[in-house]
Amino acid sequence: MNFSRFSLGLMRLNDWGFTTSQLIRFIEQNLDLGITTMDHADIYGSYTCEENFGKAMAGRHSLRSKMQIVSKCGIKLVSVNRPLHTIHAYDTSKKHILQSAENSLKYLQTDYLDLLLIHRPDPLMNADEIAEAFRQLKADGKVLHFGVSNFSTSQFDLLQSRLDFPLVTNQIEVSVMKLDSMYDGVLEQCQQYRIKPMAWSPMAGGNLFHSSEARAIRLRKALDNIGKATGGYGMDQIAMAWLLQHPSGIVPVIGSGNIDRIKKAVESEKIRLTGDQWFSILEASTGVEVP
């Protein structure tokens, strides 16, 4: 699986208010910036974002060949678009995975997905059953690669133990304000298996810039100081560079419909923090020196 350095997150596609022609132009702009990995999930937009993306992409095979389409399944939302769902729950049965993949292919108007992820760990997860679904989708050429999202190391290893091909990512929440994966073994596991983690909410859902909690205030000060010291970069760019510098090769998922913000994010790849700068950001986040 070849990821671009950044991924475009389409969770809020419906909120951006694009016309079809504007969405096509936006996709083209991202491709021009080197962002070729498109991150979807069946549930986004209450099961409508994939369909809206697919309508824009209809017949545009030249664009499809330039991108990697990612989708996720396993969450069941109560939605008017899924009238049989009576409770917010997880379903990682073979039947649900196969049907979800078929739906994504139909709505996205594509013959294959580059990557399919199990969206959340399911307390009733049957690893053998998931593996059967993955093998069938792979054999049928409908999904090229598989991975997980929000999995612990043990959950990842359990599913991997049932497969004769590698899971290629674990999409997790990680940012300067969300450090769990740096201490629970998830990022080390990605290095161990030489897979690239994908990072959702790399800007902490905006809390980094708007929260009045002490942690966010400390971080804004540290990021602003380092931004000035490195040539006038913005706090968001320094926070992104901090993620990019991790040796696991984190792929940030940028969930913005603002092309200027995306350009700024891409520019952050040019920034190289010193070790002292990197650890000063870590210290600002935790509020204490490293042991």
Query: Could you say which of 44, 47, 107, 233 is catalytic?
Result: 44
**Contacts for 289 with CB less than 8 Å, ≥ 6 apart:** 283
- Would residue 44 show up in a list of annotated catalytic residues for this protein? yes
C-alpha angle with apex 192: 283 to 268, nearest 5 degrees?
Answer: 45
Q: What is the 3-state secondary structure (H, E, C) of the chain?
A: CCCCCCEEECCCHHHHCCCHHHHHHHHHHHHHCCCCEEECCCCHHHHCHHHHHHHHHCCCHHHHCCCEEEEEECEECCECCECCCCCCEECCCHHHHHHHHHHHHHHHCCCCEEEEEECCCCCCCCHHHHHHHHHHHHHCCCEEEEEEECCCHHHHHHHHCCCCCCCCCEEEECECCECHHHCCCHHHHHHHCCCCCEEECCCHHHHHHHCCCHHHHHHHHHHHHHHHHCCCCCHHHHHHHHHHCCCCCCEEEECCCCHHHHHHHHHHHHCCCCHHHHHHHHHHHHCCCCC
Active site residues: 44
